[in-house]
Amino acid sequence: MAGNTFGTLFRFTTWGESHGPAIGVIVDGVPPRLPLAEPDIQQWLDKRRPGQSRYTTQRQEPDQVKILAGTFNGETTGTPISLQIDNVDQRSKDYRNIADRFRPGHADYTYWKKYGIRDYRGGGRASARETASRVAAGAVARKVLGPDIAIRGALVQIGPHPIDRATWDWAETERNPFWCPDAATAVRWADYLDGVRKAGSSAGAVIEVVASGVPAGLGEPVYDKLDGDLARAMMTINAVKAVEIGAGFATVALGGEENGDEMRMVDGKVKFLSNNAGGILGGISSGQDIVVRFAVKPTSSILKPMRTVDSEGNEVEIETHGRHDPCVGIRAVPVGEAMMACVLADHLLRYRAIGG
């Protein structure tokens, strides 16, 4: 398979199944002498950790990270950083009924077709549990980026309900269980999701991740463009079906003169008058905020019965019990932030290589 590695210079490799003894990530290419200790990583894992509200899975995982290699006296040494998280709350017996049945919308069927074998317990390798490793890698990436680059994410839509962007307040994202930047919408989402959960259904979401303070010059045309790598990064997150940069699909309906971000000089510096480009032109960062949005489909594991087939070719129905997020998109916020951090760290190192 050899598909479990991401990045060129800042490069990480993840491993582990949902119900195996542990999951982990090797982060390679980290410059030496950066301060790094377990709490630096734990804070971001805590943000993603399940079981923190009734809107996410009730699986209780402390997600306690251990650094097994790559630091000395609290600093990175330039050698690979090995991070490990034990799985402690597996309930594999919940998954017996999916051992032979393919959940619609899930990877069950395609893993079985591709590999002829699958660890069905909790979704195995295809479980969103893998994203904890991404968050751990992202914590290291933030160290590479340094304090001047800020990466923040927010949920901007759940089901058919978008936020009101006019009332956007980053501080609000810390005050509700949805990372919602708009307090009024957060209240409505709570009601909406309670209904979804009671109905045994699930809901999708749109996440927006913004990186501020990114210098101009990151991105390697033409196939390693910054937006190309971001698109891949986000699309590989479980359940993501769409990615857009800046104004994204909305640019289509604009005239060229509306879409192009005009420039003026302010205090001797170039200032753009808008940011339809999402901070990327020709695949290279422009110095504006990098803005990425991605769509997470509704959780595929639901209580409602659905028609499917089994591995013997019988037509069957399936209801998925286990413990699932009614809106898996909520916990995708810290994951999206982490992937943004990793892509930027990789491109920062690549830019330095040619003198940037």
**Binding positions for a copy of itself, 12-71, rule CB under 8 A:** 13-17, 20-24, 26, 28-33, 68-70
Give the whole-angstrom CA distance, residue 36 versus residue 48.
Answer: 20
- The residue among 190 and 235 lying less far from a copy of itself, judged by its C-beta, is 235
Q: CB burial class (10 A; 0-12, 13-18, 19+) of residue 185? A: buried
Q: Of 238, 244, 240, which is closest to residue 132 (Cα–Cα)?
A: 238
Does position 187 interact with a copy of itself (CB under 8 A)? The reply is no
Binding of residue 5 to a copy of itself (CB under 8 A)? yes
213 interacts with a copy of itself by CB under 8 A: no
Three-class DSSP labels, 229-267: HHHHHHHCCCCEEEEEECCHHHHHHCCHHHHCCCEEEEC
Nearest CB to a copy of itself, comparing residues 91 and 352: 352
Closest among 236, 230, 235 to 340, alpha carbons compared:
230
Residue 171 C-beta: closest distance to a copy of itself, Å: 25
The verdict on 135 binding a copy of itself (CB under 8 A) reads no
C-beta of 59 vs 197, nearer to a copy of itself = 197
Nearest distance from C-beta of residue 320 to a copy of itself, angstroms: 9
Contact status: 260 vs a copy of itself (CB under 8 A)? yes
**Segment near a copy of itself (CB under 8 A), from 53-61, 92-100, 125-133, 178-186?**
125-133
Residue 171 sits in the site that holds a copy of itself (CB under 8 A): no
Here the tokens at position 353 are 């290589």
| Total count of residues recorded for the chain | 356
Find out whether 23 and 131 touch, Cβ atoms under 8 Å. no
Q: Which is nearer to a copy of itself, 228 or 336 (CB)?
A: 228
**If binding is defined by CB under 8 A, does position 172 make contact with a copy of itself?**
no
Each as own residue / partner, the long-range contacts of residues 303-309 (CB below 8 Å, 24 or more positions apart, any chain) are 303/200, 303/201, 304/199, 304/200, 304/201, 306/103, 306/104, 307/104, 308/101, 308/102, 308/103, 308/104, 309/101, 309/102
* Among 44, 55, 95, 111, contact with a copy of itself (rule: CB under 8 A): 111
Nearer to a copy of itself among residue 112 and residue 168 (C-beta) = 112
- If binding means CB under 8 A, how many residues of this protein chain bind a copy of itself? 155
Chosen residue from 51, 62, 80, 213 binding a copy of itself by CB under 8 A: 80
Q: Which stretch binds a copy of itself (CB under 8 A): 46-54, 56-64, 104-112, 330-338?
A: 104-112
Residue 188: CB minimum distance to a copy of itself, A:
15
Following DSSP, what letter does each residue of 29-79 receive, concatenated?
A: -PPSS-B--HHHHHHHHHHH-SSSSTTS--------EEEEESEETTEE-SS
Chain residues 275-294 in contact with a copy of itself, contact rule CB under 8 A: 276-278, 280-287
Q: Using CB under 8 A, which of 102, 178, 179, 189 touches a copy of itself?
A: 102
- What Å distances lie between residue 217 and 141, 286, 349, CA to CA? 18, 7, 11
